[in-house]
Structure 1
């Protein structure tokens, strides 16, 4: 990267950001600045890992500890800044760390793209589950299996543990090879969209444009290309770019250069992912630079508790979005069905966090941006 101003690096403690910070430190003539974000809930706080790397490379390390109040205080400013419906809740902590970093540097390098480029996601490990499942379970039995599994994994809390993952995987099973397209959806499935949208707004296959390009992704290369088209280009790059610009700074992602992407695409899949060993070639290249086993430790990540927020501080706003008059004038949703799923979540009958958050973000955009420009 070429920059006319001082560079820093976001350091989460994960493999990708640790390697980027290390490389920047080696290329710099002076101490670099690294930045990490911690949370006042210890179960989500991973600043210890970033601190270890910062000590290793000798950076000027800055830790920012934030609370849920810090996140919600900027909610409207962040969501409405996108000028389009945008429901990736990690945009909130992304903005907070960018706004605090901007006090020190105006350009920061990130590890973004490391998982897509080098095969680092857990979802790549289960990418072959669809073929195994559909070869063992006849299609006519699938709905019965699904019904039992959904009953056993039903949850009321805002969790993303084993039950959530099992439920997500089984509900993504597709006998027409659309499994990976299903697994990356965190909002409504195609079937659910036909339930919650009114008849004139139903779209048979919202992802048809992408599926024409990559019809049946069945290997790591296919999965990564789908992620590049949808998750990277439509979500992650957009999120980081717009939240950092809102904070008056710039983020750059060295792993997302054309040369690196094309190089890893030329490699056999097993160079990137073999057994449970993810990002294999990247870890191998830097294994002597970090303490033993450091690169094998998975980053927990931070799940923004949107499900709880919607039941609590955002409850009245959410209820206004399912007001009969508002929905009738809007003429987009099936009123009875959308009200039912929202109220079930608010009353803790079931956990619909991702779906209701998606609905909430769309309605906030519709009311504050779309209607305001009419």
Structure 2
């Protein structure tokens, strides 16, 4: 997938979404669905495997965070955090420096905020800087109220299992399944998710955590079940997401589009976001001081959606 292809697809994808969705894997998912549709009308997917069998690296990261918090805060602030912040910025997808910086910025937060900070685009502090004052004044002061209330319904024994519960009800339901459905149905391809068969889901929920997460390796029981059927290089390959090089594209082919959609004049007229904070994000990303690709991509997608639906509604 090239930046030129993504640029061409942006306007088309905007038509499929009735709400903004900044999951960039929507693009390769659509291209894969378009290819598969040439051969079949129904396809199987692996959705649900990570949530049910603890496949996401963020689950193990909670264990690491608990150990990290045992290090005296004076040592963390004086030695570890400066070293991590000084790591060279890479535009590679989910590079080590990106993950390390995200880890330390949220390691000291409570579980719900920490989990969403790792997964999401903006930290709570960044959200407060991003939103215009009028928007903040009219917004719910606790953006994590929903997840906290959902978590109150969970009787899981461990913090990791509680985060799995949140992901099943939020990330999987509101992002993963929605993304796949929109991308596949855009080319009239139906998808099925065998892992989400109620019997499989109930079986996964009944398993102790050590059957799913062993050390830093998730989906342990699935790997054990397949060890005689798959070659070792596949079975032991590090998790590889369905990501695209947004960080590099925002410095290259998509840079003019980003500047057009996030210009200070446009943002000021819109009245939703703080133009100065957005300008800072763009500047730091372009000079390589930080990788703000996830934040900037989220804003870019929102602006495209806003133009297509909200602005259009006001003119009709």
TM-score range, shorter chain: 0.7 to 0.9
| 1:319 matches 2:259 | yes
Instruction: Indicate the SS of the match to 2:149.
Output: helix
Structure number with the higher strand fraction is: 1
Give structure 1 stretches of 5+ with no counterpart: 1-65
Cα distance change of structure 1 residues 265 and 99 upon mapping to structure 2, 3 Å threshold: same
TM-score by length of 1: 0.75
Indicate the SS of the match to 2:70.
helix
Map of 1:233 onto structure 2: 173
Displacement of 1:165 after TM fit? 1.6
Structure 2 spans left out of the alignment, 5+ residues: none
**Contact 1:111/1:255, CA 8 A, preserved across alignment:** yes
Shift, 1:283, TM fit:
2.1
Q: Which residue of 1 aligns with 2:104?
A: 170
Match of 2:271 in 1: 331
Could you say which residue in structure 2 is the equivalent of 1:99? 34
**Greater relative contact order (Cα 8 A, min sep 6): structure 1 or 2?**
2
**Correspondent of 1:265 among 202, 205, 230:** 205
Matched, 1:134 2:77: no
Matches within 5 A, 1:352-367: 352-367=292-307
Rate the CA distance shift 1:137–1:109 in 2: closer, same or farther, 3 A. Answer: same
Contact 2:227 2:235 in 1 (8 A): yes
Give how far 1:320 is off. 2.1
Is the radius of gyration larger for structure 1 or structure 2?
Answer: 1
Instruction: Report whether the alignment pairs 1:151 with 2:97.
Output: no
Shift of 1:245: 0.5
Shift of 1:123: 1.8
| 1:213 counterpart = 2:146 | no
Match of 1:188 in 2: 122
Aligned with 1:251: secondary structure?
strand
Deviation per residue, 1:18-67 (Å, 9 max, x gap) = xxxxxxxxxxxxxxxxxxxxxxxxxxxxxxxxxxxxxxxxxxxxxxxx54
CA distance in structure 1 between the partners assigned to 2:5 and 2:131 by the alignment: 34
1:281 to 214, 221, 228: 221
Distance of aligned partners of 1:368 and 1:144 in 2 relative to their CA distance in 1, 3 Å threshold = farther
Q: How large is the Cα RMSD of the aligned pairs?
A: 2.4
- The residue aligned with 1:19 is none
State the distance in 2 between where 1:67 and 1:323 align.
25
Q: Which has the higher helix share?
A: 2
2:43 to 96, 102, 108: 108
Distance change in 2, residues 1:147/1:121 (3 Å):
closer
SS in 2 for 1:289: coil
